[in-house]
Every structure is written in structure tokens, then in C-alpha cells.
Amino acid sequence: MSDSKTSTIVGIDLGTTNSLVAVVDEQGPRVLGDDSAQVMPSVVRIEPDGSFVVGQAAADRLVELPERTINSVKRLMGRSLSDAQSDLAYLGYEVVEGEHHTARVRVTTDAGPRVYSPQELSAAILRELRKRAETALGKPVEKAVVTVPAYFDDAQRQATRDAGRLAGIEVVRIVNEPTAAALAYGIGTRAGGQPQTIAVYDLGGGTFDISILRLVPAESEGDTDFFQVLSTAGDTHLGGDDVDHMLVKLFTAEIAQQLGLSEAQPMDSFDASTRRALVGFAQAVKHKLSEDDAAQIAIDLGNGNQYARTVTRDEFEGMIEAWVQRSLDACKRALRDARKANGNEPVEIDAVVMVGGSTRIPMVRQRVGEFFNTEPYTALDPDRVVALGAAMQASIISGARSGQGSSSLLVDVIPLSLGIETAGGAMAKLIMRNSSVPARAVERFSTSVDGQVNVKIHVVQGEREMVEDCRSLGVFDLRGIPPMPAGVPKLVVEFLVDANGVLSVSAIEERSGKRARIQIVPNHGLSRDEVDRIEQESFTHAREDMNRHRVVDLITNSKLDIKWISERFERYGDLLNPDEHATLEHALDELRGYVSRGEQDWTSVDPNAFYAAKDALDRASVRLQEIGITQSLRDDADEAGT
């Protein structure tokens, strides 16, 4: 094997439900594989001839072939049959006792019954991840950092190493999943930083874990950060699958009632394809309700019958209230145990990291934030955060990174400016590059279209003046604004970068109180070379960019001016003297011409002349504005007299 200082070491999240492989290279931390298939189900199907089918292809037939499709094998790793007894009811395949009382999987093949160790089956998953990494990187992958739950004991950790060896991978480090999640956010990557206490809330498809970590950062470059697990708690049978089952139970009960059956048909009375379809419908509804206030479902029942209904977010949240509370009860236990580990002193949580796909549910994020009295970190994909953290640890071990060495970005300053897209595709910078963190900026905006009820907030990063030349970080919608004329809504956008470099962007419409927010890690995927290139391009194109931005802003502001002045001109223009009327009409036509030419080709207009035309209209409309105000006061007085 090649030397660890030069070879690529990948990070692997070997999960109960899904597994991923990630790397840190010149493109930054990234999960490997096609965008549509980066998350691989931790499922192995054993064919009659003894061959393995791994990943999505195996998961697709889990309901149809439960006796030979092995899922959640992580529950059996390094455990005896008696230890795993509580899990067996949830597994569709046969588990038997092997050597030294260890749990084994027995499957019937063409050659007869065969027994497999959990390590063999996990090795099949790891081999598939290794193949995926080698395809993406174009070179052999021999070493990996692999994550495990914080509560894994020595036998379970050794079983994980053995699985790696069977897959042809040297497991150079076992990292606790909560620690990896913290690393992915850059928590603990600054030498000399302050100690922090972190809660990692991990709610996946089938399991829930809460870990309380104490981080003592390294005192100097090259030293090792110290992560201490103060406490762990959880529930090995609490996850998104439970939500799917709740929705399926709702659907089947209502279908049974619609068809005139005496009671809802249990899931196992349906054929495999129907069960799979119902679970698929439930998952689609769950995912939809993480984004919208309602989700619709329609199922063809045959014989001209159709089941259709709408599930609202309020109804959904009522269904899952007890489910969410179970996770918070575990959080209470973890905090109580952490206090004991802290010499019975209160434990103040500095950051909460969200892991697992089920943490996308808005109610989960809200309740966790309320419980810990801090806004949870949700900037990174919760399905990918552990793998990304493992890759960051792998990068440090391989020598590619050393704390915050030359190949990585300092998180105590903002490397590139942060802002939002405004009308016309311009970038409004709120926090400038090289600002110290933590940093905060607030800016006021409004709408540019009459009756606009939704506003898209596009968060961007870069030094150029137009969004198309900058780096898109994320988009979110501020919805439900009451319809008002353009320019009337009062939008307040706040950017807040905390000490760990996590950006929170919030927007509020002050008149209605509607709010929305997003979290982002701006440094992910950026190398120092890329930052230098972006800065240099901003210098090269500075004059061109400033002129274009100026023209775009003039177009936006001029269109609003033309709209308001034209409306008043139509209403009160007859009250102007002929010279005033002609001057204002000419100024309107002149500015409309600049707007039209600027929209077709911004380089065709002189920004200074454009500004002069706008200023001329402003001056020409002063008398009209005075008449409008006077007339409005008279109208109000007449109404009061009436």
C-alpha cells in the first residue's frame, strides 16, 4: 500500500439505512457518486446463486423478497444473538447464532442454507462504496476513515474494521458519527479556540441518537482537537420509517372505509407491489410537507374507485407530535447524564447539529431549537454531513489538511462577499470579504411587481456585480405576503455568520410578519486557489461590472418611478400648465427610452446619461406630486364632511 501521506483517504458513513463515501480534494469536501445516487441504501440482496446485489437495486425488492434481502445489518455488527434479540422483530430475514454466540444471517441458496456474518454483508456495502469512489477519482482507494455511533463498544468497532479488511480497505481511523458531524461544520478546526459543548441530534430512517460532546480545540497548529462524549441516548426504533407507517395506516383505514370494509386491512394482507406503492406514497407526502403546507395523494383502487385526499401540515404535525416528543425525551436523558459527567454542573449547549434525513421535517427543527434554546445547524445536507466530516478527518490524516493550514480557508474571516440577488440579476452585497466573524448585516428591500405574494431570496457569494458571475449558495422563498403595490412591502433581510462560519439568512416582511430562513456553509467547496481566482476576476472586470450594475439598478428604479409618476400624470396631468405638462411628458418618454434600450443591451446606454434622464424626470414631476398631495387632502376633507 502507498504511504498515507500521499495516498487518498476517503471518508465513509456506514449507516444503518444509507451509506456514503466522500473525499476532500481541490474541489473541497464532496460526496462521491452521481448526484441522483450519492446516498446508497445499506441493503444487500443474496441471490439464489449466492451472489450479492447491493444498494438501490437490492432495496427496490426489499418488500418483495424480505427473506433474502438484508437491511439494517449494522444492528447486528459485533453483537451476540441475545444482544440483538430486541431488533429481530423488525428484520424480515432469519438471524441465527454463530460462533461465540454471535449473530449471523441465514439465507437459503441453490446450494442450501448458508450463514453470513454481519461483517461479510457490511463488506459488500463497503466494496460498492469503494468501487464508486475509484470510479469518481480515477485511481485505487485503499484506505478510509469510517464512522460509527458514539455508543458502539470495542467489539462493534472491531467488527467495523474487519468489514473494511474484507472489502480490501484499511480502516485507518474509526470516528464517532457525532464528532464527524461537528467536523463537517468546521466546529473545532481553529487552533486556540474556546471549548464548546455540542449536541448532535441524529434522526434517521430507523434510529435516533442524541450525543452531547465537549470539544477542547488544539492550542496550536498540528495539535489534535479533543472531543469527549459526555453522554449519549436514543431509541434504536425511532425514525422516519415510523412516520411512513403512520401515513400508511391513515391511508389504509380510509381506503377500507371507502370500500365498505369493516376495518382497515393490515399491511401484510396486501401484495408486495401494493405495500411498496403505499410506502412510496407516504414518503412522497412526508417529503412534500417539508416544503409546502399541504400534499395531495391520489390512488387508483381499480373498478372505477379512486382514493384521493389532501394532507395538511397541521394535520401531519398532529400525527407526529408524540413521535417528536420521544426524541426530546431522549434529549432530556442525555442532558441529565451529561450534567453528571460534568460534575453535576449545568451543561450549556453552544451548538446543535442536525443529522439524518428526518431532521428535514420543519416541526423537528422547530422543536429541537426550542428545546436547546438555540437555532440548530441545518446548512449541510443531513444525509451527507457525517460522510463529509469523515472525509475532513481523512484529509487531515492524509496530510492534505492540517487544522487550518494553507490548503484550507480560515473561518475567522469571510473569504468572499455574501449577498442576495436583486431585480435585474444584480448582486447586493451585505457582508464584505475579509470581514471578521461573527458578522451581521441587515438590509431593507421591497418588491418590484404589483401584487407579489411570494419573494424568492437567492443567496450568492463572490466579488462580481452580477449574480451570473458569482457563486450560488442557496434559494428560499418568503411566502404568504399580502398583495400590495410594488415598492410597498417592507422586506428586511438579515445575514448572520457565527463563529464557526455558518451563515444564517432570514427574511421578514414587516407589514405581515411573514418570515423565512436558510442556513449555509459558505466555505464548502472553495479552495484558496479558487478564492484568489475569484478576487482577481473582480479586479479585471471591475469597471465593466460597476457600469452594468449601475445600469441594472437604474432600470429597476426607473421602472418604479415611471409607474408611479405615470399613474399620477394620468389622474392629475390636466391640472398642470401647458409647459409643465409638455416637460413632464418629454421626461417620461426620455426615461422610457433609456429603460427599453438598457433592457435590450446594457452596453448601449451611458449610465451617466441614464441617471441624468432619471433625475430630470424626478425634477419635472415635483409640481405633479404637489398637486397630487393637495388633491388627496381635499378628497379626504370632502369624505370627512360627507
Q: Note the pLDDT tens digit of each residue in 229-252.
A: 899 998 888 999 899 989 998 998
Residue 15 binned pLDDT confidence (cut-offs 50, 70, 90): very high
Helices (H), 485-577: 528-540, 542-572
Residue tagged 460534575 (cell numbers): 343
Q: How far apart are CA 245 and CA 22, in angstroms?
A: 31
Residue 272 binned pLDDT confidence (cut-offs 50, 70, 90): low
Angle (deg, nearest 10), helices 272-289 and 240-258: 110
For the annotated catalytic residues, the residue numbers are 13, 74, 177, 202
| Closest listed residue to residue 16, CA positions, set 147, 182, 104, 130 | 147
Between strands 112-116 and 226-235, the pairing is: unpaired
Question: 10 Å Cβ neighbour count for 101?
Answer: 11
Look at residue 276 in the predicted model and tell me its pLDDT. 75
Flag whether pLDDT at 303 surpasses 80.
no
What is the SS3 assignment for 176? strand
* More confidently predicted of 71 and 398: 71
Look at residue 190 in the predicted model and tell me its pLDDT. 54
Flag whether pLDDT at 191 surpasses 60.
no
Instruction: Give the least confident one: 42-46, 90-94, 403-407, 565-569.
Output: 403-407
CA angle (444 as vertex; 442, 446 as ends), nearest 5: 150
| Mean pLDDT of all residues in 134-140 | 92
| Closest listed residue to residue 189, CA positions, set 435, 432, 395 | 395
Flag whether pLDDT at 187 surpasses 50.
yes
What is the SS3 assignment for 440? strand
- At a CB cut-off of 8 Å and minimum separation 6, what does 387 contact? 11, 12, 13, 20, 21, 22, 31, 147, 180
- At a CB cut-off of 8 Å and minimum separation 6, what does 543 contact? none
Q: Which residues pair with 203 in a beta bridge?
A: 208
Architecture of domain 418-525: Sandwich (2.60)
CATH 2.60.34.10 domain span(s) along the chain: 418-525
Q: How far apart are CA 460 and CA 493, in angstroms?
A: 13
Reported as type and span, the H/E element at residue 191 is none
Phi, psi (rounded to 5 degrees) for 215: -110, 125
Q: Tens digits of per-residue pLDDT, 330-379? A: 999 999 999 988 888 888 999 999 999 999 999 999 999 999 999 999 99
Instruction: Give the least confident one: 181-195, 368-382, 446-460, 588-602.
Output: 181-195
Listing DSSP states for 319-356 in one string gives: HHHHHHHHHHHHHHHHHHHHHHHTTT------EEEEES
Look at residue 404 in the predicted model and tell me its pLDDT. 40
Instruction: Give the least confident one: 101-110, 364-373, 525-534, 613-622.
Output: 525-534
The domain 9-177+383-392: what is its CATH number? Answer: 3.30.420.40
Look at residue 225 in the predicted model and tell me its pLDDT. 63
pLDDT > 90 fraction of the chain, expressed in percent and rounded: 40
Listing DSSP states for 228-250 in one string gives: EEEEEEEETT-SHHHHHHHHHHH
Q: Tens digits of per-residue pLDDT, 311-343? A: 999 999 999 999 999 999 999 999 999 998 888
Look at residue 602 in the predicted model and tell me its pLDDT. 84
| Mean pLDDT of all residues in 251-271 | 70
Q: Which residues pair with 30 in a beta bridge?
A: 23
Query: What cell does 128 get?
Result: 460498492
Q: What is the mean pLDDT of the chain?
A: 86
Class for the domain spanning 543-641: mainly alpha
What is the SS3 assignment for 255? helix
Look at residue 501 in the predicted model and tell me its pLDDT. 78
> For 49-83, b where at least 16 C-beta lie within 10 A, e where not — what string?
eeebbbbeebbbbbbebeebbbbbbbbbbbbebeb
Look at residue 29 in the predicted model and tell me its pLDDT. 86
Residue 290 binned pLDDT confidence (cut-offs 50, 70, 90): very high
| Mean pLDDT of all residues in 380-402 | 86
Question: 10 Å Cβ neighbour count for 620?
Answer: 21
The domain 189-378: what is its CATH number? Answer: 3.30.420.40
CATH 3.30.420.40 domain span(s) along the chain: 9-177+383-392, 189-378
| Closest listed residue to residue 156, CA positions, set 314, 359, 16, 319 | 16
Look at residue 410 in the predicted model and tell me its pLDDT. 43
Averaging pLDDT over each range in 300-309, 367-376, 622-631, which range is the top one? 367-376
